[in-house]
Amino acid sequence: MKVDSFFPSENLKPYIQKYLIIESEEGIENRILPNPNLVLSFQLKGNLKSEESNSLYDLPKVGLAGFRKSARTIIYPKNSSALLVLFSEVGAFTFFQEPISEFYGKTVSLEDLFPRPLINRIEEQLFVCKSNTERIGLIENFLHQIKKNRMIDPIITNTLLKIKETNGKIKIGDIRQGLPISIDSLEKKFKVSIGTTLKHYSNLLRIRSVLSSHSQKTNLTDLAYHAGYFDQSHFNKEFKLFTGSSPREYFKNPQNW
């Protein structure tokens, strides 16, 4: 599998983390861990499938993947490729009129969200592109076309910053401190803007910090403790939900994307 990474132009940096173009000559099953970013996907060649919760289904040619609780597998057949747009945490809110929480646990076709002629046109343009640079340029033009005049609430930005600064270890009650909003109102606003709950988003960052800080010398008990887990069984349960494996099994053969 070949993966090329591209960064967005300056005016899209607040909304887009990066672009990926994934190409598979031989065919591959790519294990995807839950991500703190929504992902927009464009199939360039082949028919990609997704397997999750013991269910196999065809992915839409142009789709949007929301937050997940557990890992899933993307199946790339021989000679297939896809272009992915990884939104920043606040990015998706700027491009979609719907509450971002509506995409939770789903992969939806963009034909359900935008006029079909617009989607057909970007698919046709991508098909005749001669280079990846040209493809990224087309995608950026498309993003400018669908961008809405929506601004993220500064309260949500501050909330994200607090969670990130602690790698998700902050208590929900502490998140609200210093903010002029009730915890219930903050929860609702966060789900609509970001696409998941405060707790789930915090857990995503916490588990991902465990994965990034692990090394051959790491003791799993210490790793769980430093990530804020004081109950080993709770850590093992969340870790398995996130990766599909126990910590010991996973770190024998990490499958992170």
Residues 243, 253: Cα–Cα separation, whole Å:
12
| Cα(23)–Cα(82) distance, integer angstroms | 7
Under the banding of pLDDT at 50, 70 and 90, the label for residue 254 is low
Q: Looking at residue 69, what is its pLDDT?
A: 92
pLDDT range class, residue 23, cuts 50, 70, 90: very high
Rounded CA-CA distance 43/61 in Å is 5
Lowest mean pLDDT among 100-109, 197-206, 248-257: 248-257
- 42: helix, coil or strand? strand
Residues in a beta bridge with 21: 4, 83
User: Is the entire prediction scored with pTM above 0.75?
Assistant: yes
The Cα–Cα gap between 184 and 190 comes to: 10
Instruction: Report d(CA 45, CA 27) in Å as an integer.
Output: 12
Higher pLDDT, 82 or 211: 82
Report the C-alpha gap between 86 and 88 in whole angstroms: 7
Average pLDDT over all residues of the chain:
92
Say whether pLDDT at 8 is over 70: yes
Query: How does residue 256 score in pLDDT terms, banded at 50, 70 and 90?
Result: very low
pLDDT for 81 beyond 70: yes
- What are the tens digits of pLDDT across the range 53-76? 889 999 999 999 999 999 999 999
Q: 220-230: per-residue pLDDT in tens? A: 888 888 888 88
